Structure 1
Amino acid sequence: MKILFCSPIVPSKELGMSKVLIELIEELQELGWLCKLLSPTDICPDILSYTGIKYQQIYSQSLKNYLHEYASEYDVIDYDHVYLPYSRDEFINSTLFVARSVLLVHHYETLTIPIPNNLKGKIANLIKRASRKAQVQNWIRDATLTIREADLVNVSNDDDKTELIRRGIPADKISVIPYGISQSRRLLFDNISSLSPVKPTVAFIGTFDPRKGSNDFPKIVQYISEVIPNVKFRLMGGRYKTEKEVLGHFHQRLRNKIEVISNFDSEELPKLLATCSVGIFPSYLEGFGFGVLEMLAASIPVIAYDVPGPPMMLPPEYLVPRGDIKGMSDKVINLLHNQEKLQVARLWAKQQSQKFSWQHIAQITSETYLRCLESKRTVNKTTRE
């Protein structure tokens, strides 16, 4: 069986959607699937010269043209939920078309993402507000059409399914399949001791931007530091920010508590997490939240905002309402103050992470796609007869 994965960004294991596709493909190939990952530059060589709405339009048109010519060579086409806003009748009917959401754009209409709280950020927001609003409206318009025309919709959390059902998408057309950690990376995480580190260190994995909670970090650090003076913070993955830019968000007296690691290979992450005690994830919107899973795999219990994504991995006692800075800080303090409770939480974190393996998720994906493909072809055969 052959499956084509269409990435709207140039594939890289360091970037969201393509990371998902690359790691999933590796496991599906072990199951016997013949997989191809299509980069946007494969179908439009100059695509990277475009941005925003123009990129969306050019990529969508290029993908449509490519699938008109080559879709018949595959059993399944797996593509982003924004970029194929065309009638299903335009494409070969025997191939299964799957719209995949790594970050459901419809949430941008109902969940407010904070704007940067510095002067430069506020000015930029004023200047770009209209274009950003237009971009979101275009995303949602095209995503709605893409999803309605797809044979199957693949989302990574239950909140996405609820939102799509609310918008009229049939429940039986939506498959919730989370993400995982590969066996090879799992071995690296398994080398980390579940015993609590001697020095209290709070971890975060993710880009340092308002969607990920950058506005909330200064107060979180302040609240925790006031109660636990010797606490340290390790912020990892602020790839689009320099250390100076990240530290600039914090009061001068707090900066010596913060270590910023903005560039690292994925294989280095387990070692960076080995000396961390508790994790925080104040993101306002996620598709899944890889950072949460990676911290859990390193025996790090995580406190997160109760938004789409993290609840797939975390129980209610590890969640706080979005923007509840004090609530998040208090839960971290409670764990750091109670070594017995922290030890139990660290053992639980490791066990919880075991539920999310790419090997298992690839098996679910394979079974789901094959079942839908068989059903589709049976209907087509009956219709012809």
Structure 2
Amino acid sequence: MKVLMFGWEFPPHISGGLGTACYGITKSLSNTQDVQITFVIPKAYGNEPKGEVHLVGANNVDLIKSKIHQERLQFPIRCYAIESGISPYTSPELFHHTQRKKPKGKITNTSQQRKIPFSGAYGPNLMQEIHNFSVIAEYLASQTDFDLIHAHDWLTFPAGIAAKKMSGKPLVIHVHATEFDRSHNRVNPQVFEIEQQGMLAADSIICVSNRTRQIVINNYQISADKCQTVHNGVEFSNADTSTFPKHLTHNAKLVTFLGRITSQKGPEYFIKLASLILKKMTNVYFCMAGNGDLYEKTICQVAQSHIADRFLFTGFLKGNEVCQLLSLSDIFIMPSISEPFGICPLEAMQHHVPTIISKQSGVSEVVKHTIKVDFWDIHAMADAVHALLTYPSLSKMMIRYAKQESSKIKWEDTAQKITKLYRQTIRA
């Protein structure tokens, strides 16, 4: 079974969970004997992992040889009135800031070059890149032998639709998040339309949690029969942590937030939690690892709360940097307002870190040995942190059972379910 797969990120060039999930899925699917994957991304850098999949960069497609003409790359005229560089991870404030000096009606000039210069990022020309990616997808679909199309998240849905129209092959879309998660119900109509068009065109829809599946059914008016929940897994860490420090100086405790610093992830609740804890305990530090549109605002909020001497900001971390931080952490907290799944808590559990997660997360559907609270209930969250730091036996018990539990949540199981769905979709 040959799969033409579209994604926007692939390690080591990732900005969050989407790239991590795509890698875990493709790696496990490629280890299945009867699945061969051609994975297409906007921009290939050349240092991506070799062997697991056949990786194709849309930026490497020769426009002259492929006979793609400049007019095909013009942004659809019906969108000019609302043309915008919408990022899936920006706030309204950042969106307006990036739009102020943006030239209108920009198209790709192919007369001077043979290839489209994709950035592969979430910048001000994102919508143009999404459109260009769909044009490349149509061409690749005409040149590639495959049985099924698999498109990850809304950025690649137009590419999946274009490939389906060209080939007539069935389309599976993978919903890793929705605009209702990212925007905290301040839904951008253009993104919503792209998501809904992808869902309507798809033959099957994979949702990363039951929570996400219900959003797709209820908010996008999609048939329940079309949607199937397939939870994510976790990559088992093989990092050598023996050289990592195990404690902060003077045996201070470290409470960690790891993720994009954006409203969806609830950083303001982490700050409020820290203020409550520091009124009771003094030997505790709080770390916010990640980047995002609220990064600077969050630093200001910490300063205004007069707890800056107890706060650490690391910026974006990946690979061994994440492992090193988790080896130092005494508690991991994910206070997300709306989290379709959430792989980070599983990584923390793998690294023997007690975890506290919001009930509004997809990962809460598959784990038992974590403490689950509503994202807004900072007093319950603070009680949990205080208990874990005060009673070592409680922490040790959570670590033991959580490690066992997370070890059973494998990408291989995710791949088996996806393979089964592939077969069902092709037979339908």
TM-score range, shorter chain: 0.7 to 0.9
**What RMSD over aligned residues (CA atoms) do the two structures have, in Å?**
3.4
Note the alpha carbon deviations across 1:129-174, whole angstroms, 9 max, x for none: xxxx6xx111111211210110111111111111222243222321
Identity %: 18
Match of 2:278 in 1: 225
CA distance in 2 between counterparts of 1:362 and 1:106 reads 27
Q: 1:74 maps to what in 2? A: 146
Preserved contact between residue 149 and residue 164 of structure 2 (Cα < 8 Å): no
CA gap of 1:64–1:80, structure 2 versus 1, over 3 A, is farther
Change over 3 Å in CA distance of 1:333–1:54 after alignment to 2: same
SS in 1 for 2:409: coil
SS of equivalent to 1:31 = coil
Amino acid at match of 1:143: E
The structure with the greater share of residues assigned to helix is 1
Question: 1 CA distance for matches of 2:300 and 2:177?
Answer: 29
Instruction: Give per-residue Cα distances to partners, 1:223-250, cap 9 Å, x unaligned.
Output: 11111211122322337787x8754431
Compared CA separation, residues 49 and 261, structure 1 to 2 (3 A)? closer
> SS at 1:98's partner residue?
strand
1:7 equivalent in structure 2 = 7
What is the distance in 2 between the residues matched to 1:50 and 1:24? 21
C-alpha separation in 1, matches of 2:211 and 2:243:
32
Post-superposition shift, 1:53?
8.6
Q: Which structure 2 segments of 5+ residues have no match?
A: 44-56, 60-115
Deviation of residue 367 (structure 1)?
2.5
**What residue in structure 2 maps to residue 117 of structure 1?**
none
Cα distance, 1:199 vs structure 2: 3.9
From 120, 123, 127, the equivalent of 1:56 is 127
Which residue among 188, 192, 201 is the counterpart of 1:149? 201
Alignment of structure 1 residues 135-174 onto 2, 5 Å: 136-166=188-218, 167-174=220-227
Q: Which has the higher contact order (CA 8 A, sep 6+)?
A: 1
1:21 aligned residue: 22
Please say which of residues 314-323 and 147-156 is displaced more in the overlay.
Answer: 314-323
> 1:344-355 to 2 correspondence within 5 Å?
344-355=397-408
Equivalent position of 2:345 in the other structure: 292
TM-score, structure 2 as length reference: 0.71
Residue 266 (structure 1) aligned with residue 319 (structure 2): yes
Q: Structure 2: which amino acid aligns with 1:27?
A: S
Q: Which residue of 2 aligns with 1:120?
A: none
Distance in 1 separating the partners of 2:330 and 2:253: 6
Q: Distance in 2 between matches of 1:320 and 1:10?
A: 32
Confirm or deny that 1:254 pairs with 2:307. yes
Write the mapping of 1:125-136 to structure 2, written as runs, cut at 5 A. 136=188
- Paired AA for residue 284 in structure 1: I
Q: Do structure 1's residue 179 and structure 2's residue 232 form an aligned pair?
A: yes
Give the conservation status (yes or no) of the 8 Å contact 2:207–2:227. yes
Q: Would the aligned equivalents of 1:202 and 1:233 in 2 still touch at CA under 8 Å?
A: yes
Q: Is the 8 A contact 1:4 1:78 kept in 2?
A: yes
TM-score relative to the length of structure 1: 0.78
5+ residue gaps, structure 1, are: 114-132, 377-385
Q: For residue 104 of structure 1, what is the aligned residue in structure 2?
A: 178
Judge conservation of contact 2:254–2:330 (CA < 8 Å) in 1: yes
Looking at structure 2, the residues matched to 88 and 179 of structure 1 have their Cα atoms a distance apart, in angstroms, of: 26
How many pairs does the alignment contain?
A: 348
